Structure 1
């Protein structure tokens, strides 16, 4: 094959053979890089010991969530977190061994494998979208901060997002019920996955039958109940108040996005309300003008059609024309909107959306490749300014509003011929 043909393949998003070769090479590169990071970069403790301490209480039989605590404070994640880190707790030999140098090294190896699996799921999602060229997949492997989040810090954010991307690939294949179970598993590890829920609900309403949509929502709720059963059966109020606490106010000191706002404003209820209002308005605008544009808009044709199907009990005959690209973009845009209007973003939160940035940028062919690369570089810079400054935070907010505008201005994802909904 000539050099010209190779370059053409590397620039063709629909060249599945080239995509497979690139992805395999990148996974091998990631595993090697993670091995080097573990061997050469000194481990700095942040939350790992606290995670092990929280799980230690569960391992000893405690089911009262208010009594599950670590050195950094109380346990504030749902039950899926407990089970995931209890498995790690057992693997590394318990609290004492797990927090030793050898235990930490073992856990880092596990997280390197989690990261590789995470990347494989992201690559699968991208391959089905057929939006970005194979060479650009390498951009998903170049973040210093993301590697740190996985293999140096071992945050639960990476586990949650691996499940979220796994769910996305199932949704792209129109496996709505199975995808909803995996999605709920991700939520159970960390609730940030809920930022994708508005987009998911729009997809369920418009891309499935009424019965499937109701079944998917039931699967999300049912999975949470099943996972929380040991705690709900013993100390339900304590579990619900701690695991699903939505009103927490993060420390202004560690904010990456709103460091330019004074602390008094940052912690105020008014600031939180304005951000929530902006978040909801943006979601409704995207739902009406972007996600449901082909159906005549979210208000009122889209919703009316769903309830019409429901009342007519037409639960099996709906035909969906949502492509894998449309599914992934709706979820990524829903997630990005949550990021843009979040009151506080801490450094590990970068993993919530980093892997969707190329998808969002390449969805708009009007933006030059050089500009796309510059945007990604600027975002990476913002996340590596430590501690964040008012200047870096202002740049952060402006760039992310720009990415949101790029996503909004992108051509509507094409639809294929009608396919029967799962």
Structure 2
């Protein structure tokens, strides 16, 4: 027994010695290699993307607090918001009579509801710091939701793409130094996208059992989108993408899609009931013409994106029609070239078959089981469609003002990544984009650079094949 114990002891000792011999020596060179590996991984290794998000969120929280403490608050529209809310609280509901220092009210009822609460917390203009902290929390929450969306796309987003989300000087200013209502629209829109991604994930895991939950998440997304539109109408830019995704999530059943849309409409009416359902017809009429005035003229001096054009061209009806045609044309290009592609999206179902099923079988589930919505790439497809639908609208906007950056910035790094361009080109485009927004006042050069970047991002996503593996082949392998 003692001999056996001694033999085991000697074997263990030999193994330990051998293991120690196999360990690499700790040298300055090995340390340098390890450091290079860590640094490189923190920049381009997708496996590190999820690990850096929480530390980045903490760092961003500290950074925002430092901005609030050290950079003076800039008054632009918040006092006007408070003046408008004060008039409404006194009983004035006619939009033509609700105004402030910088102009009349031009936003729907969701804006009124949110800023009424903000007025309660801030005491109007007395406690601006409280308002800044609320917007700081709003920024962090929107960033967190965006982080989750990026991860759930399963597109192996590189860490440096995550860093880009936190590097916009203009965006920080929009949130904690200016308190624009656009920030709430962005938050609700981001929640709508996350809801669709969750719905898709549920459908992918168990197409039959999770069908009801997936439909409920569609309704929730419709709810969030209605809330976003009730704050500011730029969220309407998401509608084309939302309809495409909802159609697939509802198994290409028009009746279900109609129910989802009606649910969102009822939420919107509820948010605007004070004005839309008012017994005074003038209140209703002025609300619709004021909050949803699509013919409103924008001032040339404030435009960020069209300064390379003359003021005469900028203000012309012909230019507005060209932008509208480009908007519709780009949406149709994505719809027929990307979102209805039989090889990579619809599972072999032709466009004519899609149209035929929609007309002849509007109340039946007609989706192919090879549709991308059932594949592992479904979540990426959802984010792609929603983000591009919005960015096309931004590109074709009649005018972008500085606070409008919040409309699309949270999806910009991802869309740059999805173009398939080399990392160095992506970084260069991001820097040019950031410099364009940081140029004040805007110049022909900064405007031209901004539009060029947006065009490249849109076209890059149109022509780059993000769904190389055919859906039908993927199903066969499973």
Q: Give the Cα–Cα distance (whole angstroms) in 1 for the partners of residues 261 and 369 of structure 2.
A: 18
Q: Which residue of 2 aligns with 1:392?
A: 446
What secondary structure sits across from 2:272 in the alignment?
A: helix
Q: Give the Cα–Cα distance (whole angstroms) in 1 for the partners of residues 292 and 369 of structure 2.
A: 35
Matches within 5 A, 1:220-259: 220-234=264-278, 235-259=283-307
Q: Which residue of 1 aligns with 2:208?
A: none
Partner deviation per Cα, 1:346-376 (whole Å, 9 max, x = no partner): 11111111111111121133x1100000000
Matched pairs, number: 407
Q: Give the Cα–Cα distance (whole angstroms) in 2 for the partners of residues 255 and 189 of structure 1.
A: 22
CA RMSD in angstroms comes to: 2.3
Per the alignment, do residues 92 and 369 of structure 1 end up closer, same or farther by CA in structure 2, a change over 3 Å counting? same
Q: Which residue of 2 aligns with 1:368?
A: 422
Partner deviation per Cα, 1:310-349 (whole Å, 9 max, x = no partner): 15x3489988632111000001111111111111111111
Q: Which residue of 1 aligns with 2:313?
A: 265
Q: Which residue of 1 aligns with 2:80?
A: 50
Matched, 1:383 2:437: yes
Structure 1 residue 206: Cα displacement: 3.1
Please, which of 165, 174, 183 is the counterpart of residue 225 of structure 2? 183
Matches within 5 A, 1:144-183: 144-174=169-199, 175-183=217-225
Decide whether the 8 Å contact of 1:55 with 1:86 is kept in 2: yes
Per the alignment, do residues 153 and 207 of structure 1 end up closer, same or farther by CA in structure 2, a change over 3 Å counting? same
Q: Structure 2: which 5+ runs fail to align?
A: 1-33, 200-216
Q: Give the Cα–Cα distance (whole angstroms) in 1 for the partners of residues 361 and 236 of structure 2.
A: 27
Q: Give the Cα–Cα distance (whole angstroms) in 2 for the partners of residues 369 and 297 of structure 1.
A: 35
Structure 1 residue 168: Cα displacement: 0.2
Decide whether the 8 Å contact of 1:52 with 1:85 is kept in 2: yes
Please, which of 119, 123, 136 is the counterpart of residue 112 of structure 1? 136
Decide whether the 8 Å contact of 1:19 with 1:134 is kept in 2: yes
Q: Structure 1: which 5+ runs fail to align?
A: none
Q: Which residue of 1 aligns with 2:410?
A: 355
Structure 1 residue 303: Cα displacement: 3.4
Please, which of 231, 235, 244 is the counterpart of residue 202 of structure 1? 244
Structure 1 residue 159: Cα displacement: 1.0
Q: Which residue of 2 aligns with 1:341?
A: 396
Decide whether the 8 Å contact of 1:289 with 1:297 is kept in 2: no
Per the alignment, do residues 25 and 122 of structure 1 end up closer, same or farther by CA in structure 2, a change over 3 Å counting? same
Q: Give the Cα–Cα distance (whole angstroms) in 1 for the partners of residues 53 and 390 of structure 2.
A: 24
Q: Give the Cα–Cα distance (whole angstroms) in 2 for the partners of residues 123 and 73 of structure 1.
A: 36
Partner deviation per Cα, 1:354-412 (whole Å, 9 max, x = no partner): 111111121133x1100000000000000011001112112222222111121112213
Q: Give the Cα–Cα distance (whole angstroms) in 1 for the partners of residues 356 and 143 of structure 2.
A: 39
Per the alignment, do residues 35 and 124 of structure 1 end up closer, same or farther by CA in structure 2, a change over 3 Å counting? same
Q: Give the Cα–Cα distance (whole angstroms) in 2 for the partners of residues 315 and 182 of structure 1.
A: 27
Structure 1 residue 150: Cα displacement: 0.4
Partner deviation per Cα, 1:146-189 (whole Å, 9 max, x = no partner): 00000001101111101101110001112211111011101111
Q: Give the Cα–Cα distance (whole angstroms) in 2 for the partners of residues 297 and 156 of structure 1.
A: 42
Greater Rg by CA: 2
Q: Give the Cα–Cα distance (whole angstroms) in 2 for the partners of residues 149 and 408 of structure 1.
A: 30
Q: Give the Cα–Cα distance (whole angstroms) in 2 for the partners of residues 297 and 80 of structure 1.
A: 40
What secondary structure sits across from 2:309 in the alignment?
A: coil
Decide whether the 8 Å contact of 1:206 with 1:306 is kept in 2: no
Decide whether the 8 Å contact of 1:289 with 1:298 is kept in 2: no
What secondary structure sits across from 1:141 in the alignment?
A: coil
Please, which of 367, 372, 390 is the counterpart of residue 321 of structure 1? 372
What secondary structure sits across from 2:362 in the alignment?
A: helix
What secondary structure sits across from 1:245 in the alignment?
A: coil
Structure 1 residue 91: Cα displacement: 0.8
TM-score normalised according to structure 2 size:
0.80
Partner deviation per Cα, 1:68-109 (whole Å, 9 max, x = no partner): 21111111111111111111001112xxxx213xx1111111
Structure 1 residue 134: Cα displacement: 3.0
Per the alignment, do residues 298 and 161 of structure 1 end up closer, same or farther by CA in structure 2, a change over 3 Å counting? farther
